[in-house]
Amino acid sequence: MLDVKFIRDNLDQVKAALAKKGFMFDEAEFTRLDDARKAALTSAQSLQAEKKKASKQIGALIGQGMSPEDAKAQVMGSIDSDIGEAEHAAKQAEHSLRELLMSIPNVPHNEVPFGADESDNIEVLSWGEPVAFSFAAKDHVDLGEPLGLSFDDGALVAGSRFVAMSGAMARLHRAITQFMLDTHSEEHGYEETYVPYLVNRQALEGTGQLPKFEEDLFKVPGEKDFYLIPTAEVPVTNLLRDSVTDKTLPIKKVAHTPCFRSEAGSYGRDTRGMIRQHQFDKVELVQFVRPQDSDAALEELTGHAEAILQKLNLPYRKVILCGGDLGFSAAKTYDLEVWLPGQQKYREISSCSTFGDYQARRMQARWRNPETGKPELLHTLNGSGLAVGRTMVAVLENYQQEDGGIVVPEALRPYMRGLEVIRA
């Protein structure tokens, strides 16, 4: 969340920056709650000072022969109850202000362009040339079903927006995952990390999914307040919650997890195939860095995701998201969009974002600055490296043959026991 003092000292700047995201900052409500909090704290502190003064008076009266009970009754009056009421009011004011702050998105980076939605995102680069097939290209659904990709089986056991895989398709899915993990851990310097797939409410508040996006999550009924993770970003980033790390920054972690999303509001969109599923796998990259390094770290992290696409020889483009398409917690985001011949368009396969200290302040994730010896908020970044299912879609469609076979990209063949072509 945003720093209260920063908002207070830069109201006009904050309002203008948040307007770029389409968020109307309620200055009057913020000022009212901030003033109420300050007044309540001042009142509580004043009463505490009055109590200290009264304690000295009680001592003087006892010294003059008055009993402790009579001296306390004469001097203290209702001070204790007044202090209790003032402290309760201060806590209430603090809680109300925090609730408001939790609902305010992150301020976008000054490089984020203006725009209303994804149509206003700006292309930064493109890599590779879309394949020119001599035959009518099929989409991944038609290609995958004869090879072990079954949406009927997925629907049978779970419902729509689920898939089941068998044979070569299941192995290809695993091969893509292992290839990504090996590349990021062995070539890009990330530590492979395993995390829970269920998290508590505090973890989702820390990374910004709650309270605003509860309808997008799957909550698990029961005694404990558990949610299925929408992305490995949540558990991995929260590993540093409520702590001060003495480790040298950057800390770089990579994790493979399933992800679960309700896809609220997406009815009618991408109902065919694997593009928008309730359950999908992703290899996630997370970095914790010094504040002065976060801009460069975003370029590096995005480059690591791009490297996967390049090794698989999949044409893609990189875009910077405009304010209207930027995520709630993100300060700046690059999307990587892979070319899908079956749709004849580029589709998102990775989002790479820097959050500044926005998530760290919510989580109280800090590092000890060796120059000062003091704890400071660190900066967090994450990105898909990549979405496994969408990468599989891209491989099927870009490597398809006229007879329905799929050429296995060279980078994946060691994970497929040397298999060069997948056939029914």
* Residue 121 marked ligand-binding: no
Whether 351 is catalytic: yes
Whether 348 is catalytic: yes
Catalytic residue among 276, 347, 361, 368: 276
Catalytic residue among 261, 294, 337, 353: 261
Lookup: tokens for 313 = 């020889």
* Residue 174 marked ligand-binding: no
* Residue 382 marked ligand-binding: yes
* Residue 168 marked ligand-binding: no
* Residue 232 marked ligand-binding: yes
Catalytic residue among 337, 366, 390, 397: 390
State the CB neighbour count (10 A cutoff) for residue 364. 14
Catalytic residue among 126, 348, 361, 413: 348
Closest CA to 391 of 320, 333, 321, 339: 339
Q: Determine the length of the chain.
A: 424
* Residue 384 marked ligand-binding: yes
Contact indicator for 203, 238 with CB cutoff of 8 Å: yes
* Residue 103 marked ligand-binding: no
Q: Please state, in angstroms and rounded to a whole number, the distance separating the CA atoms of residues 328 and 326.
A: 7
DSSP string for 220-277:
EPSSS-EEE-SSTHHHHHGGGTTEEE-SPSPEEEEEEEEEE---TT-TTSS-STTSS-
Sheet order of strands, 279-289 included: 122-127, 316-320, 332-340, 345-354, 379-387, 279-289, 251-260, 191-192
* Residue 261 marked ligand-binding: yes
Sheet order of strands, 219-220 included: 198-200, 226-228, 219-220
Whether 241 is catalytic: no
Radius of gyration of the chain (CA): 27
Catalytic residue among 300, 351, 362, 397: 351
Closest CA to 276 of 163, 397, 384: 163
* Residue 349 marked ligand-binding: yes
DSSP string for 278-298:
SEEEEEEEEEEE-GGGHHHHH
Partnered with residue 366 across adjacent β-strands are 244, 377
Q: Please state, in angstroms and rounded to a whole number, the distance separating the CA atoms of residues 70 and 288.
A: 60
Could you give the count of Cα atoms lying within 13 Å of 122 in the half-sphere of its Cβ?
A: 10
Q: Please state, in angstroms and rounded to a whole number, the distance separating the CA atoms of residues 376 and 390.
A: 38
Whether 347 is catalytic: no
Whether 272 is catalytic: no
* Residue 263 marked ligand-binding: yes
* Residue 350 marked ligand-binding: yes
SS3 content of the chain, % helix, strand, coil (to 5): 45, 20, 35
Cite the annotated binding site by residue number: 231-233, 261-263, 284, 348-351, 382, 384
Q: Report the catalytic residues.
A: 261, 276, 348, 351, 390
Cite the annotated binding site for L-serine by residue number: 231-233, 261, 284, 382, 384
Cite the annotated binding site for ATP by residue number: 261-263, 348-351
